[in-house]
C-alpha cells in the first residue's frame, strides 16, 4: 500500500463501508423489533472490519460465499442495499424475491454467491466456484467467509485439503468471534487453533486483529495478490468479537458483563474513527459518512415497509424446469 493520502483514502473507504454495514444492521434490528422483519436475524455488529477489509481487495468479478451472519459480507461486496433490505422484509423487490430472507441473501450481479443457513455450507461451494472459474479461463478468485464454529465440520477439512490439492484461488476467511451460538468455540475445539489447522491441510494461514480494519486490509491485500498470482489458497484468521447475541432475540446474557464492556472498547468502528482523526481527517467529515449511512438505511427501511409483498403465485416459480408443479396441479 502506498502511504500518505492514498492510505487515508483507503481508510476512509473502509470506514464508509463499515458505517454502512453497521447502519444496515442497526436499522434491521430496529425493524425486526418493530415487527417489520419476520424470521431470524443474525447481525455481525462488531465484526464489520473483516468484511470491509477483505472485500476492499476483491474485484467485482471475484466471488464470495458467506454464512448465516452475512449482511456485512454482502454489503462489502457491493450488493444492492434496497434489494437486501426488501429481502429481509420478505418483499417482492428483494434480491431473492422474498424467497430467501436474511439467511439466504445472494446477489449474483456482484459475485455474491449466497449466504448459507448451514454452518460450513459455503466452503465446498467456494472451492468448486474457484475450480469452475479456472476451467472457464477466468483469473477471478473466491473469498469464503465462515465462523470459528465451522472449522469443526467435515466440509472445512475437505474443502481446505481440496483447495490446496488443486492450488485453487480461494481466500478462506475465518471470522473468529470466539463463540458459536451459545458456546465458547474453544470449549469445543481441540488442537492448536484455526491457523495451525489450516496449515496442517496445506493452506498457509495469517492471523490478524480482525477489529483493526487497516490490518485486515493489509493482510487481505497480500493474500489476494498471492492467490491471484497462482500460489493457491490462503486462510485469513481474523480475531473479532460478536457484540450482540446469536440472533436478534438473544441477549447473550451468559457472557460476563466486563468482557462485553471491554469488547466495546475494542470495537472496530470506534478504533478506525480514532485512527482517522489522528490522521487529520476532520470530525465533521466522519460525521457526514456516518450520517449518510444512517440516512441511506433509514430510507431503505421506509421504502421496504411500503414495498409490495410478493404475489403468492410466485411461490410456485423457480423450483425446477422439468417436473415443475403448478398451482392447479
Partner 1 sequence: MPEVTLVEAARLAALQEMRADPRIWVLGEDVARGGLFGQYRGFLSEFGAQRIVSTPISESTIMGAGLGAALVGTRPIIEMRIFDFAMCAMDELINQIAKIRYMFGGQAKPALVVRMPHGIWRNSAAQHSQTLEGWFAHVPGLVVCVPSTPADTAGLLVQAIRSDDPVLFFDPKNLFPLKGEVAERIAPIPFGVARTAREGSDLTIVTWSAIVPAVEDAAGMLAARGISAEVLDLRTLWPWDEAAVMASAARTRRLLVVHEAVTAGGFGAEILARATEALGPGALRAVGRLGQPRVPVPFAPPLEDALKPDAAKVVAAAEALMAR
Ligand X SMILES: Cc1ncc(C[n+]2csc(CCOP(=O)(O)OP(=O)(O)O)c2C)c(N)n1
Query: Applying CB under 6 A, which residues contact ligand X?
Result: 68-69, 117-119, 146-150, 177, 179-181, 185, 242, 246
The option from ligand X, partner 1, none interacting with 94 (CB < 5 to 8 A, set by class) reads partner 1
Nearer to partner 1, 124 or 178 (CB): 124
**Strand, coil or helix: what is 145?**
strand
Nearer to ligand X, 78 or 117 (CB): 117
CA distance 179 to 170: 24
Residue window 172-211: x/- pattern of binding to partner 1, with contact defined by CB under 8 A: ----------------------------------------
Q: Is 161 in the site for partner 1 (CB under 8 A)?
A: yes
Nearer to partner 1, 32 or 95 (CB): 95
- Which residues partner with 179 through β-bridges? 184
CA distance 295 to 282: 20
Helix ranges (DSSP H) in 92-153: 122-135
Residues in the chain: 329
Q: Give the CA distances from residue 200 to residues 204, 247, 275, in Å, rounded to whole numbers and listed in that order.
A: 9, 33, 36
Nearer to ligand X, 174 or 304 (CB): 174
CA distance 56 to 98: 28
Contacts 24+ apart (CB under 8 A), 209-212: 209/238, 209/239, 210/47, 210/49, 210/50, 210/175, 210/176, 210/238, 210/239, 210/240, 210/268, 211/46, 211/49, 211/239, 211/240, 211/241, 211/266, 211/267, 211/268, 211/271, 212/49, 212/268, 212/271
Nearer to partner 1, 15 or 89 (CB): 89
Residue 224 · residue 141 · CB < 8 Å: yes
The only residue of 191, 251, 280, 323 in contact with partner 1, by rule CB under 8 A: 323
Nearer to partner 1, 126 or 276 (CB): 126
The option from ligand X, partner 1, none interacting with 148 (CB < 5 to 8 A, set by class) reads ligand X
Residue 160 · residue 235 · CB < 8 Å: yes
Which of these segments, 22-30, 225-233, 298-306, 313-321, binds partner 1 (CB under 8 A)? 313-321
> Cell 403468492, residue?
312
The option from ligand X, partner 1, none interacting with 68 (CB < 5 to 8 A, set by class) reads ligand X
Nearer to ligand X, 153 or 271 (CB): 153
Residue window 96-125: x/- pattern of binding to partner 1, with contact defined by CB under 8 A: xxxxx---x-xxx----xx-xxx--x-xxx
Query: In whole angstroms, how close is the CB of 67 to ligand X at the nearest point?
Result: 6
CA distance 323 to 62: 34
The option from partner 1, ligand X, none interacting with 205 (CB < 5 to 8 A, set by class) reads none
Applying CB under 8 A, the residues found at the interface with partner 1 are: 63, 65, 94-100, 104, 106-108, 113-114, 116-118, 121, 123-136, 138, 142, 154-155, 158-159, 161-162, 165-166, 317-323
Amino acid at each position: 500500500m502506498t502511504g500518505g493520502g492514498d492510505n487515508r483514502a483507503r481508510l476512509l473507504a473502509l470506514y464508509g463501508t463499515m458505517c454502512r454495514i453497521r447502519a444496515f444492521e442497526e436499522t434491521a434490528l430496529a425493524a425486526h423489533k418493530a415487527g417489520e422483519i419476520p424470521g431470524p436475524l443474525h447481525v455481525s455488529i462488531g465484526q464489520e472490519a473483516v468484511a470491509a477489509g477483505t472485500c476492499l481487495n476483491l474485484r467485482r468479478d471475484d466471488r464470495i460465499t458467506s454464512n448465516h451472519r452475512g449482511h456485512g459480507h454482502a454489503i462489502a461486496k457491493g450488493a444492492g442495499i434496497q434489494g437486501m433490505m426488501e429481502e429481509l422484509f420478505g418483499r417482492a423487490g428483494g434480491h431473492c424475491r422474498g424467497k430467501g430472507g436474511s439467511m439466504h441473501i445472494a446477489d449474483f450481479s456482484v459475485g455474491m454467491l449466497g449466504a448459507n443457513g448451514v454452518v460450513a455450507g459455503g466452503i465446498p461451494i467456494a472451492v468448486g466456484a474457484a475450480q469452475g472459474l479456472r476451467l472457464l479461463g477466468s483469473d477471478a478468485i473466491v473469498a469464503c467467509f465462515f465462523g470459528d464454529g465451522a472449522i469443526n465440520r467435515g466440509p472445512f477439512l475437505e474443502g481446505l485439503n481440496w483447495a490446496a490439492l488443486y492450488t485453487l484461488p480461494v481466500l478462506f476467511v475465518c471470522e473468529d468471534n470466539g463463540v458459536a451460538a451459545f458456546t465458547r468455540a474453544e470449549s469445543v475445539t481441540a488442537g492448536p487453533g484455526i491457523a495451525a489447522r489450516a496449515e496442517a491441510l496445506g493452506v498457509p494461514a495469517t492471523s490478524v486483529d480482525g477489529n483493526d480494519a487497516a490490518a485486515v486490509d493489509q493482510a487481505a491485500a497480500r493474500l489476494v495478490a498471492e492467490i491471484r498470482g497462482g500460489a493457491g489458497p490462503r486462510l485469513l484468521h481474523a480475531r473479532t468479537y460478536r457484540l450482540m447475541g446469536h440472533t436478534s432475540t438473544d441477549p447473550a446474557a451468559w457472557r460476563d458483563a466486563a468482557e462485553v464492556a471491554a469488547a466495546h472498547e475494542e470495537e472496530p468502528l470506534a478504533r478506525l474513527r480514532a485512527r482517522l482523526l489522528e490522521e487529520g481527517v476532520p470530525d465533521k467529515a466522519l460525521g457526514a459518512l456516518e450520517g449518510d449511512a444512517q440516512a441511506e438505511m433509514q430510507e431503505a427501511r421506509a421504502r421496504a415497509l411500503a414495498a409490495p409483498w410478493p404475489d403468492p403465485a410466485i411461490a410456485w416459480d423457480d423450483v425446477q424446469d422439468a417436473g415443475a408443479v403448478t398451482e392447479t396441479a
